[in-house]
Structure 1
Amino acid sequence: MSDSLADEYPEAAPFIAKAVEDHGEEWVLENYYSELYPLSQVMSMPEKEDLPFFDPETDETLSKDEQVKMYEAWAEYRENLRTGTKPDK
Structure 2
Amino acid sequence: MDCRPKCGACCIAPSISSPIPGMPNGKAAGERCLHLSVEFSCDIFGRPERPAVCGSFSADVDVCGSSQADAIRLIGWWEQATAVA
TM-score by length of 1: 0.27
Flag the structure with higher helix content.
1
Higher-Rg member (1/2): 1
